[in-house]
Chains A and B, each alone.
Chain A
Amino acid sequence: MALPVRILTAVPICDGHDSAINTINLEFIRHGIEVVYLGYHRSVGDIVRAAIQEDVCAIGISSYNGGHIEFFADVVKQLRKRGADDIKVFGGGGGTITLADAMAMERKGVEKIFFAGTSLDEMADYVREKYGKPRKKRSRAKTRDIELARKLTQIEDRFAKSKRPASKGKIRNPKSAVRNSRVIGFTGPGGAGKTTLIDELVLRFLRQEPKARIAILSHDPSVVGEGALLGDRATMINSQDDRVFMRSMATRGQTGGLSPATEGCLRELIQGGFDYVIIETVGTGQEAMPFQKNGIVDLTVLVMNPDYGARLQLQKIVMLDLADIVVVNKTDQARARAAILEIERRLDQNKRAQQLVASVAKRHRDPGVDELFGLISGKQNVEALAAASAGHGKRRSPRRAPLQRRRRKR
């Protein structure tokens, strides 16, 4: 089976025109392309870093706000500078990029500019044909990010080529390699705010641990042999940082919220010397724990929405038995108080030291997220929790974040 083509798309800095790229992304996906979408108003640095970490074949840039000659040329230049010039650059800007501009851009190393009136099929065909071929032998990776990114690609490709899991389990005990990596798994239903929550945690890691390096494996659903929109980066504004290595993965047909290649990639990241490795599953339902099998996740966090439905639904959520920390996010919603009480009672049945945190992740400096950050980063807590999840620890009462909304005075 052919390997899925992976590309990154973005809109330049100071440009919010995302109507064209949204449509183009959908068409690319329909044509079997995996699109890592970085969003609008993105700097050259963000685009280049993301393209390298995601190890895409090409970057597509949609620009409607002028300054395109400089911007595209700068992307090409930065890719070269970082030894990643096997990543190609293409793009368009409707009528704003003239023929003369396009020629100037091509002279500066941009591979292709599409003009207004190009059909979406033509664009998708171009991308598949041009960037769908197996890569030629690649020159030696010049940076740590490039090397790691390529290894992850190899792992993904192995699974795409043969449906059989190719894990030969070379690393018997991955944790022994680098003791300091803390692996945290986030799961929960779609729309609960996992992505926002993780990004807010990353902001706190970066601020409070000035040297910490973080890796994120983020998953989005896809069907075998078909395209996917990998869009978490677009909203994870704090995670676009040189100390964060992020990789977006399509599940490529696997159920359970992860990709067949997740475990292999995770092992690779653990060896990469990151202080924290965060895995985010796709939005999940009532099925069991996605992280159970591999046994390398130190801490599991279930993120929930207050509107899960009737209380009975809680009995069906297996993850509530298994998670170390349960976060009820979006507690600014009407049903929040009742939800927290119900979940608290549900956790009581388990008689384990599970923690309950209430948060509003979208809020700047949210105390609930601070609390979660404390639980995840504080060594004591984590060890106690890890011990507890192995069935030893003593039960502690769930902690509750203050529920009342702080009223702003004016």
Chain B
Amino acid sequence: MSKLGQVVESVEKYNRFVLDQVKRARTDEKFGRELVDRWNEVKANTPIMRAPTGLELPRLALPEVDEPGEIARYLFGEGLPGQFPFLNGAYREMYLEPEREIETGSFGKNGHGKNGHAKNGKIDKKKIDKPAQAEEPTRLFSGLMLAEDTNERFHFLTAHQRTHRLSTAFDGPTLYGIDSDADGVFGKIGEGGVAIDTVEDMVRLYDGFDLGSPDFSASMTISGPAPIIMAMYIAAAKRRFGAKVVPKLRGTVQADIFKEVQAQNETIFPTEASLRFLTDMVEYTTREMPRWYPISISGYHIGEAGSTPVQQAAYTLSNGFAYAEMFVARGMSVDQFGPRLSFFLDCGLDVEYIALARVSRRIWAIGMRDAFGAGPRGQMFKLHTQTSGRSLVAAEFKNNLTRTAAELMLAYMNATNSSHSNSADEPFTTPTEEWIRLAAHGQAILLEESGIFKHTMNMLSGSPGMKAVERAVEAAILEEFREIERMGGVLAAVENRYQRSQIQSAAHRYEQQIYDGTRPIIALNKYCNQDDAPEVKLSRTPRSKQQLQIDRLTKFKKKNAEKAKRALAKLADVVERGDNCFPSLLEAVEVCSLGQITDRLQEVVGRFRPMV
């Protein structure tokens, strides 16, 4: 049995354990009394807060139960926010606003929301160590044209934020590890993301941001050449702040190879070689950069490629367990890498999204604890959510604001740790400032303006409908796990293109449902207006900028020609020998371009053979 089989067993076993506890609470009087006492204590210690209207509410919403069996079902089956099995949240306070209106009580101890400590002028060291609780969840994905243009966008987006959480989109050539001067990619330079060829571009990209600050984090959405780009980021940080900055760097690099092979198609080396480079990087970063997330296990692209929500969660989780298995096989301890794994899910409008992330968090926690022996920090499913780009349509595109708002609601109901809301103009263009601003405001309106999430944690959890979705989704995910296990585990299933086929047939069904009208898309197949395409502003990269990028690259290559040759030879040698190649990559990026490194690595390990 692979680890995935053990995960299925551990979840089944845990569910039986919960039922046993319920039964025991009802029959074992002493145990029942203990539970009731604990429950009453939690309630008594929950502070009361006052909404601006004067209404008093508890800081934590709990179900109205007083019977020991039901208390056991809640405490063991779901857990309080921030407690195993984390159904209600990986952390506690999450979106709560600062405590100023609150009468004291112990449960809200470290519950400073955003702006919390900045306001009293004092900065509490301990709180900064728990950034996920103290930061704004807003993390907007952006990247356009050249590094300096994206840099400008980053400053625009974070101008009003205390914490700077950047999320970087790369252009096509960068995602495929190709240089901007490669044949036939001219028109793609700076389209859909930023063009990065060298460490010098990387320096420009984050100019003006304090990369070593505890209030800064950078996310980079790239997988195929992720180790090379990661090395460039480190090299750029060193150029600006010296070598001492490395252990302080915070952020995420996506580096999810499985989902690339299953759905997104941006793989450049054969699967096994890609996984090896990834493991090299994870080994290095978990040792040298304790605050970095070297992988973001992503369902987003699986969802966007057309999977069902259950497939999305099942493939993402099983990919996560497969990575964990691989890192253990390399000799890393689960408590070294476990806390450095993060997740990324899509949130669309299908009913499953009411509880998809909640269920995922629970399965991850149980699997990591019981099948992998991970400690509490390695059990937490730390989640970034993006609203569904695929759900947005060009026809009467302003409706996309409503779609995104509804999806954001679902994401917060699932207690996501950070989120990206799509711009309404995304069906046609890299977001323009007008619409990206509205997208960012959407998050602020829900979290800061509305009273839905800021007064009481767990506010919308646990409705009977949500529970029904949880049960159905969990059963369906476990069934997918069993199917993958029958095929010999994740890697074997990937090689048999199982996940790809499943995603493709789900995508096909989705399209057919749109065309036959069984899936209504407003203004596309229902309540349509006959008006032609809307007048929208487009963000496109001017040819002069594309040429500038090539000129810069040419200069870099010329300047470093000799050194590059040596660095590449050394890198190839290390890869050939099978040693961890990340330190050599760190040296190579100083003098080589992304494309030069990709080419050299492909000579040694081969190219990825696409799957249809």
Residues of A bordering B, CB below 8 Å: 12-19, 22-23, 26, 37, 39-41, 43-45, 65-71, 74, 94-96, 98-99, 115-117, 119-121, 196, 199, 231, 234-235, 237, 362-365, 408-410
Which of chain A's residues have a CB closer than 8 A to the CB of B276?
408
- In the complex, the chain B residue whose C-beta lies closest to that of A406 is B578
Which of A14, A95, A235 gathers most chain B CB within 10 Å? A14
- For chain B, residues 464 to 517, give those with C-beta under 8 angstroms from any C-beta of chain A: 495, 504, 507-508, 511, 515
Whether B394 contacts A13 by the Cβ 8 Å rule is no
- For chain B, residues 302 to 332, give those with C-beta under 8 angstroms from any C-beta of chain A: 304-306, 330
In the assembly, what is the distance between CA of A116 and CA of B525, in Å? Answer: 11
Whether A65 contacts B533 by the Cβ 8 Å rule is no
Which of chain B's residues have a CB closer than 8 A to the CB of A26?
508
Which of chain B's residues have a CB closer than 8 A to the CB of A115?
394, 533
3 closest A-B pairs by CB: A14-B172, A16-B265, A66-B191
B358 to chain A, nearest CB (A): 27
Whether A70 contacts B187 by the Cβ 8 Å rule is yes
Which of chain B's residues have a CB closer than 8 A to the CB of A16?
175, 260, 264-266
Whether A44 contacts B609 by the Cβ 8 Å rule is no
Whether A116 contacts B266 by the Cβ 8 Å rule is no
A45 to chain B, nearest CB (A): 7
Given contacts A14-B175, A70-B187, A98-B428, 9 further A-B contacts (CB under 8 A): A19-B304, A19-B305, A41-B610, A43-B183, A98-B536, A116-B524, A234-B610, A364-B273, A408-B578
Contact of B428 among A15, A44, A96 (CB under 8 A): A96
In the assembly, what is the distance between CA of A381 and CA of B10, in Å? Answer: 56
Which of chain B's residues have a CB closer than 8 A to the CB of A13?
172, 176, 184-185, 188
Which of chain B's residues have a CB closer than 8 A to the CB of A65?
172, 188, 191-192
Q: Is B395 part of the contact surface with A, judged by Cβ < 8 Å?
A: yes
Given contacts A99-B532, A237-B607, contact A22 B508 (CB under 8 A): yes
Which of chain B's residues have a CB closer than 8 A to the CB of A22?
504, 507-508
16 A-B contacts, Cβ less than 8 Å apart?
Answer: A18-B265, A19-B504, A19-B507, A23-B511, A43-B183, A45-B184, A66-B191, A96-B428, A98-B533, A99-B533, A234-B610, A363-B270, A364-B605, A408-B578, A410-B578, A410-B579
Whether A231 contacts B612 by the Cβ 8 Å rule is yes
Which of chain B's residues have a CB closer than 8 A to the CB of A235?
609-612
Q: Is B577 part of the contact surface with A, judged by Cβ < 8 Å?
A: yes
Which of chain A's residues have a CB closer than 8 A to the CB of B611?
235
- For chain B, residues 147 to 196, give those with C-beta under 8 angstroms from any C-beta of chain A: 171-173, 175-176, 178, 183-189, 191-192
Contact of A364 among B192, B270, B504 (CB under 8 A): B270
Which of chain B's residues have a CB closer than 8 A to the CB of A43?
183-184
**Chain B residues bordering chain A, tally (CB within 8 A):** 58
Q: Is B580 part of the contact surface with A, judged by Cβ < 8 Å?
A: yes
- For chain B, residues 251 to 269, give those with C-beta under 8 angstroms from any C-beta of chain A: 260, 264-266
B305 to chain A, nearest CB (A): 5
In the assembly, what is the distance between CA of A39 and CA of B304, in Å? Answer: 18
A81 to chain B, nearest CB (A): 14
Which of chain B's residues have a CB closer than 8 A to the CB of A196?
609
In the assembly, what is the distance between CA of A365 and CA of B186, in Å? Answer: 32
The DSSP consensus for interface residues of chain B is: loop
In the assembly, what is the distance between CA of A234 and CA of B612, in Å? Answer: 7
Which of chain A's residues have a CB closer than 8 A to the CB of B515?
119-121
A144 to chain B, nearest CB (A): 23
Which of B184, B264, B605 gathers most chain A CB within 10 Å? B184
Given contacts A22-B508, A44-B184, contact A39 B610 (CB under 8 A): yes
Q: Is B393 part of the contact surface with A, judged by Cβ < 8 Å?
A: yes
B395 to chain A, nearest CB (A): 6
Which of A40, A41, A43 gathers most chain B CB within 10 Å? A41
Which of chain B's residues have a CB closer than 8 A to the CB of A70?
186-187
Which of B393, B394, B524 gathers most chain A CB within 10 Å? B394
Whether B579 contacts A23 by the Cβ 8 Å rule is no
Whether B533 contacts A66 by the Cβ 8 Å rule is no
Whether A117 contacts B270 by the Cβ 8 Å rule is no
Whether B393 contacts A237 by the Cβ 8 Å rule is no
Which of chain B's residues have a CB closer than 8 A to the CB of A408?
276, 578
In the assembly, what is the distance between CA of A18 and CA of B184, in Å? Answer: 20
A83 to chain B, nearest CB (A): 20
Whether A14 contacts B173 by the Cβ 8 Å rule is yes
In the assembly, what is the distance between CA of A353 and CA of B326, in Å? Answer: 43
Contact of B172 among A37, A66, A94, A363 (CB under 8 A): A66
In the assembly, what is the distance between CA of A19 and CA of B263, in Å? Answer: 9
Which of B191, B427, B430 gathers most chain A CB within 10 Å? B191
- In the complex, the chain B residue whose C-beta lies closest to that of A70 is B187
In the assembly, what is the distance between CA of A286 and CA of B612, in Å? Answer: 26
Q: Is B131 part of the contact surface with A, judged by Cβ < 8 Å?
A: no
Contact of B188 among A23, A45, A67, A119 (CB under 8 A): A67
Whether A362 contacts B609 by the Cβ 8 Å rule is yes
- In the complex, the chain B residue whose C-beta lies closest to that of A231 is B612
Which of chain A's residues have a CB closer than 8 A to the CB of B445?
none
In the assembly, what is the distance between CA of A94 and CA of B304, in Å? Answer: 14
Given contacts A74-B184, A409-B579, contact A41 B265 (CB under 8 A): yes
Contact of B395 among A45, A99, A116, A231 (CB under 8 A): A116
Whether A98 contacts B538 by the Cβ 8 Å rule is yes
Whether A67 contacts B427 by the Cβ 8 Å rule is no
Which of chain A's residues have a CB closer than 8 A to the CB of B173?
14
Whether B427 contacts A94 by the Cβ 8 Å rule is yes
- In the complex, the chain B residue whose C-beta lies closest to that of A96 is B428
In the assembly, what is the distance between CA of A43 and CA of B172, in Å? Answer: 13
Q: Is B451 part of the contact surface with A, judged by Cβ < 8 Å?
A: no
Contact of B580 among A69, A364, A410 (CB under 8 A): A410
Which of chain B's residues have a CB closer than 8 A to the CB of A39?
610, 612
In the assembly, what is the distance between CA of A119 and CA of B511, in Å? Answer: 10
Whether A364 contacts B606 by the Cβ 8 Å rule is yes
In the assembly, what is the distance between CA of A96 and CA of B389, in Å? Answer: 13
In the assembly, what is the distance between CA of A120 and CA of B578, in Å? Answer: 49
B20 to chain A, nearest CB (A): 38
In the assembly, what is the distance between CA of A231 and CA of B501, in Å? Answer: 14
